Amino acid sequence: MDTFELFGTIRLYVSDVHKVGTDALLLSEFAAPRTGEWACDLGSGCGTVAARWFCDEKPAPARVYAVELQADAVRLMERSVALGGLPAGRFIPVHADLRALQDVLPAGAFGLVTCNPPYKAAGCGLLSEATGARTARHEIDCTLEDVCAAACRLLRYGGRLCICQRPERLADAVCAMRAHSLEPKRLRMVQHSASHAPWLFLLEARRGGRPSITIEPPKLF
């Protein structure tokens, strides 16, 4: 077990399996929660996305539920609350399966849901050897459809779902969102440089939104 210092006074406890990733930091910035709203991060890992919102001089939601299936990752988040400076009562680790949140979190209560989902579709690519890595990288315990179904239930009307994903999964993401009354509204590609192809996209959808999408300038990172 080790610690990773985020901006400001927040320290996250991490492990060899559950680490702070660039994609999670980019998603956290892109989602930009509004002060006072309730937010939920699905598949939180060590809590990077949600924890970043509590750093100094940034708008912070009133409450964040960090939902995670893997018990060892939940323990890391609980330790970050106890010892790392995350606000108890506002950053709330939840040990649960995002496919079964009906009796865990209230429906229609959230203004923002985020997810850094597994990138590899079921049946694609070699499976990682470690259980934690398999869960994080492959659609074994969670698919894009699962994420969108959970978000649709959690979000209030007009609430936002923000995800990051590999560019080759863009069509899959749009289809899954629309199948669950989530309309894609904002898209941003991430590139290493202007001459490189995108390696990641950031996508925001609104529950009950009308068809119309804004394509933002690429982020060079």
- Enumerate domains of the chain plus CATH numbers: 2-220 (3.40.50.150)
Rounded mean pLDDT of 59-87? 94
Rounded mean pLDDT of 207-218? 98
Q: What are phi and psi of 148, to 5 degrees?
A: -70, -35
pLDDT of 127 strictly over 70: no
List, in order, residues 6 or more apart from 140 with CB less than 8 Å away. Answer: 118, 122, 134
User: Does the model's pTM come out above 0.75?
Assistant: yes
